[in-house]
Structure 1
Amino acid sequence: MDLRESTLRDRAREYAAAEPLYDVERQHVETVPKTFAGDEYGRRDAQWIVRWYFRRYLGEFPDRERREREEAFRDNAFDDVVDALDAAVNALDAADVLDAADVLDTAGAVESEPADSGADRDADSDVDVALDALTDLDGVDVAVASGFLQFLAPSRFVAVDRRTWAVLAAAGELDGDYPEPPSTVDYRRFDDACRTVMERTGVDAWTLYRALWRSFAELPEPSP
């Protein structure tokens, strides 16, 4: 699996041209960071991310599990959702990974310089605080919480899932099969691998996510 800069940017452009959810994803990449940093958002704004995490599989994710998780999240008291999102936003702000200056180019890539690895690693504990706050909500495990991180800071975080993990593993950037379900430690390993690729290639997390998701189709079918 080739994760050179040119390949990643090509796959990200293919994603933008072919994936049916791309337009609405791009809209949320542009608006979610400011939406959740403010006070005027509703339950549906948060529900969208949970629904997105499962429905982007376009029917391939088990429908019963998807419904159970979405219903569990919907049953959270909205005050608890607000408290969790506030804690996550404050933790990411303390970790210096929220950047209100991020903008999208015409290909949908967030244009920003990759974060300094040393500064990021010093901020790991703050990111863990964000994950802990989000996973206190019913229906949110570490994987879904990583989806919140991706939209809260789209230039910095990639959502973890079977596809993004598998492509990084196939490229030799990550060891082991996808954990079911991933823990905070598993996400930290995944996040470290993503940062390594971003620092080497100069792409941001939103570009990397699209490239990894699109590249999954190139992986060989698992042996029976």
Structure 2
Amino acid sequence: MASIKDVAKLADVSVGSVSKYLNGGKLKAKTTLAIEQAIQALNYEKNEYAMGLRTNRTHTIALIVPTIWHPFFSELAFHIETELRHYQSKLILCNTQNNYENEIAYISMARQNKVDGLIALTYSNVDEYISSALPIVSIDRYFSEKIPTIMSDNFAGGGLAAEKLIQAGATKLAFIGYGSIYDNSTRDRYRGFQAYCQTQGLETEIIYYEGHHHEFNEKLPELVQ
């Protein structure tokens, strides 16, 4: 595999000139042409890992999600990856499987500068590992540290869901779901649903559990009896 030194030798230029070219720097037209011809002749491919060591950039963003099996999380990952391509960055998908230790490992990866940034959608008690010094964006959860957070209006969403069911002709509504054991915005969908139904005097049945997803699946047959 050709190296940057091989390109420089064939183009009869310095290694510094080739490095400047690869990093988007401006060179004389003659120098640029010689480097491009050498790259093509040698089938040279830029070593992103080596470049990252020199610039302290990996051009990768890690996305932490509880599970990729859930259609919401998989679609979210798709759109984030699509957007990152516009910035010449790649996505590392971190599927934690709702496992606390897995989340800590992925956060540690970001702390060690092995990725440029972290997008976290987590429901575990990882607050002590989250720092404003980390390049991190949180989705649907506030932490004690002040970090950028993207939130949905889950309370309004719960009420809107109930309203749409009534408009569709439903007369008795049921809420089936689970929330995190830690108080965060995901519980607001349940609260919004309850608030709307109480305001409208609607008959409802609530099947709600606060805990991990696998625990909810195990308890669901018992809850619906």
| Fold conserved between structures, TM > 0.5 | no
**Which has the larger Rg?**
2
TM-score (norm. length: structure 1): 0.24
The TM-score, its normalising length taken from structure 2, stands at 0.23
Q: Which has the higher contact order (CA 8 A, sep 6+)?
A: 1
Higher helix fraction (1 or 2): 1
